[in-house]
Amino acid sequence: MKQMWRKGVTMFLSMSLMLSVLAIPALAAESYEAQIDGTSYTTLKDAFEAADSDETITLLANCDLGADQLVLEDGRNVTIDLNGFNITRSDRLIEIKHGTLTLTGQGTLEETSPNYAPVILSGSVDDEAEDYTVLNVGPDVTLKGWAGVFITTNKIGSSPSHAYGVVVNVAGKIVSVKDQGGFNGACIYLNGQNADSTGPVPEINIASTAEFTATGNGIYAAGYGVWNIENGAQLTGGSTGIEIRAGELNIAGGTITGGNGPLTVNPNGNGSTVLNSALAIAQHTTKLPIKVNITGGSFEGTAALNVTNPQGNDPEDLARIEVNVEGGAFYGVVESVLTDYPFIKGGSFDKDPSALVPEGVAITEIDGLWWVGDLPPAPDEDDDSSEEHAAQVAAEREFWESLTEELEELTTQLAEASAPEAPATGTQTQPVSKPALSLDATSYETIPYWAVDALARQNATLKLTYIDAEGKVQTVEIDCATILKTEPNRVFFRIEDFVERYAPKN
């Protein structure tokens, strides 16, 4: 009996132990969203608040901020390495009020309910505060929202709003989509409340690797700022590539594309005014100065360039608009409300720009394209030391001008080749082999852009024989279509530079 009791107690204790073990919950493995110098953080917000100046936060997972917003306002210099991951929030992911934020690595910052922008910047009220609020966007970073970057103003009490010391450097991609109400935004939006035109005004630098795509505007520059666009940048707006209403815009190159629907201009004191223009210059109700300098780039839309007056500003206000075009390729209407102000001194146009070209500036029409600007001038005839170079320039000019007839003949050949006769029954049309133009340039130092433009427009090739830097004769074939949109502003190329840039690499 005692033995049975002991066995029963033993079984009871064993079962109790098993049940108690089963009742202990398993501990979940802790997850981390970010890391700083080997220390892991449960949330990106925790890491962002813990980061010291000049430290890098590296993402370890995709991060949805939820109700949290990342705010930088204490002047720190913080880097976020996306590390192949993404950051999301309904809207307004990051606000920079004072400090420097650098976004690197590969990944996307996205508004899931587009409303403002993934990154919002506000500047200082101090008119001496340089580099007060800075954003750097790396080449593999994508910003997606109603705007990608929204620049607004700051104020103290009842004082006027200011945005001193804002700097934005973009080398990556920005995608602008419609907001929740179906309204278009812009890849970068500079709020029109920024009316300061002196001091450290907002500066926006668009690098050669930048790529903007928008249902609305690539850039909407309502407030005053300074914009610099490098050659190679791509800005595509479903309605307008760039609309500037105040400030300074410097375009050294790149591809700026607007919509191809009807060109429309409507007054708007709180938003964009021009539809279907590559570049629209439209002074705001603020009547602030506008200065636009174009030395290169491709502009394509129903209007390639439109200088307009949607608000009906007075002539003395419009007199604060300054436009200078020294290069670029313009595909679309080019027009201006600025009477008696010819501002086109260089570039190529598929519509006659004569009305906007100053007296004394040459215009040459070749194959339906108008070229504005002189050929390189001959050296000073009184300078004996330059006689040899003067003869070289004269010989080159004569050679290239004589080429016009050959280019026109080739264009005709290409047009005929692109329309083959219908094939006989039961046979297939054979691909058309387009001819290439062969040029012996061994005696010349330069090659004019117009000489290859006819080929580019027909998607043909140039077979060029030249002497390289080592004095050797070389022959290369160059796809001229690659030149039409990337270097439309040049009148002449140095042959060495031309080959280096466009010849296929072995």
In whole angstroms, what is the distance from residue 454 CA to residue 384 CA? 38
| Per-residue pLDDT at 439 | 75
In whole angstroms, what is the distance from residue 422 CA to residue 37 CA? 69
Same domain, 363 and 411: no
| Per-residue pLDDT at 16 | 45
Strand ranges inside 368-503, DSSP E: 369-372, 437-440, 446-448, 461-467, 473-479, 492-494
Query: Could you tell me whether strands 347-349 and 369-372 are parallel, antiparallel, or unpaired per DSSP bridges?
Result: antiparallel
Answer yes or no: is 192 within a domain: yes
Same domain, 350 and 302: yes
Locate tokens 């117009």: which residue? 450
Read off φ and ψ for residue 22, nearest 5 degrees. Answer: -65, -25
Work out how many domains the chain is built from and give that number.
Answer: 2
Same domain, 144 and 195: yes
Report which of residues 13 and 464 the model is more confident about.
464
Answer yes or no: is 21 within a domain: no
Answer yes or no: is 66 within a domain: no
| Per-residue pLDDT at 1 | 42
Report which of residues 240 and 481 the model is more confident about.
240
3-class SS of residue 498: helix
Same domain, 267 and 411: no
* Average pLDDT across the chain, whole number: 84
| Per-residue pLDDT at 459 | 63
Answer yes or no: is 145 within a domain: yes
| Per-residue pLDDT at 504 | 74
Distance, C-alpha 111 to centroid of its chain: 21
Hey, which residues does 107 pair with through a beta bridge? Answer: 141
Helical axes 387-417 vs 449-457, angle rounded to 10°:
10
- Cβ 115 vs Cβ 137: under 8 Å: no
Tens-place pLDDT, residues 466-506: 888 788 888 888 777 666 554 544 455 677 777 777 777 65
Same domain, 406 and 331: no
| Per-residue pLDDT at 311 | 96
| Per-residue pLDDT at 468 | 81
| Per-residue pLDDT at 18 | 44
- Cβ 505 vs Cβ 389: under 8 Å: no
Same domain, 306 and 346: yes
Answer yes or no: is 37 within a domain: no
In whole angstroms, what is the distance from residue 369 CA to residue 349 CA? 6
Answer yes or no: is 55 within a domain: no
Read off φ and ψ for residue 469, nearest 5 degrees. Answer: -65, -20
Locate tokens 């750097």: which residue? 136
In whole angstroms, what is the distance from residue 80 CA to residue 78 CA? 7
Q: What is the 3-state secondary structure (H, E, C) of 109-131?
A: EEECCCCCCCEEEECECCCCCCC
Same domain, 492 and 362: no
User: Residue 50 above 90 pLDDT?
Assistant: yes
Tell me the mean pLDDT in the region 123-130. 95
Same domain, 351 and 473: no
49 pLDDT tier (thresholds 50, 70, 90): very high
| Per-residue pLDDT at 416 | 60
Cα-based distances in Å from 439 to 227, 318, 366, 447, 460: 40, 48, 19, 10, 14
| Per-residue pLDDT at 429 | 45
Nearest to 242, CA basis, from 188, 294, 171: 188
Locate tokens 């409507």: which residue? 266
Most confident of 92-101, 334-343, 408-417, 483-492: 92-101
User: Residue 17 above 50 pLDDT?
Assistant: no
Answer yes or no: is 148 within a domain: yes
Tens-place pLDDT, residues 171-201: 999 999 999 999 999 999 999 999 999 999 9
Locate tokens 């070289």: which residue? 392
Report which of residues 54 and 156 the model is more confident about.
54
- Percent of the chain past pLDDT 70, that is, above it, reads 74
Show which of 347, 372, 397 is a domain's final residue.
372
3-class SS of residue 289: coil
Tell me the mean pLDDT in the region 293-301. 94
Name the token pair of 147. 């705007």
Name the token pair of 183. 């309204």
Record the pTM. 0.75
| Per-residue pLDDT at 113 | 98
Tell me the mean pLDDT in the region 352-364. 93
Report which of residues 25 and 280 the model is more confident about.
280
Same domain, 254 and 399: no
In whole angstroms, what is the distance from residue 80 CA to residue 136 CA? 10
| Per-residue pLDDT at 27 | 44
| Per-residue pLDDT at 497 | 72
| Per-residue pLDDT at 26 | 47
Same domain, 406 and 368: no
User: Residue 251 above 90 pLDDT?
Assistant: yes
Domain range for 145? 114-372
| Per-residue pLDDT at 20 | 44
Tell me the mean pLDDT in the region 87-97. 98
Report which of residues 476 and 121 the model is more confident about.
121
Answer yes or no: is 75 within a domain: no
| Per-residue pLDDT at 118 | 98
Same domain, 497 and 393: yes
Same domain, 462 and 313: no
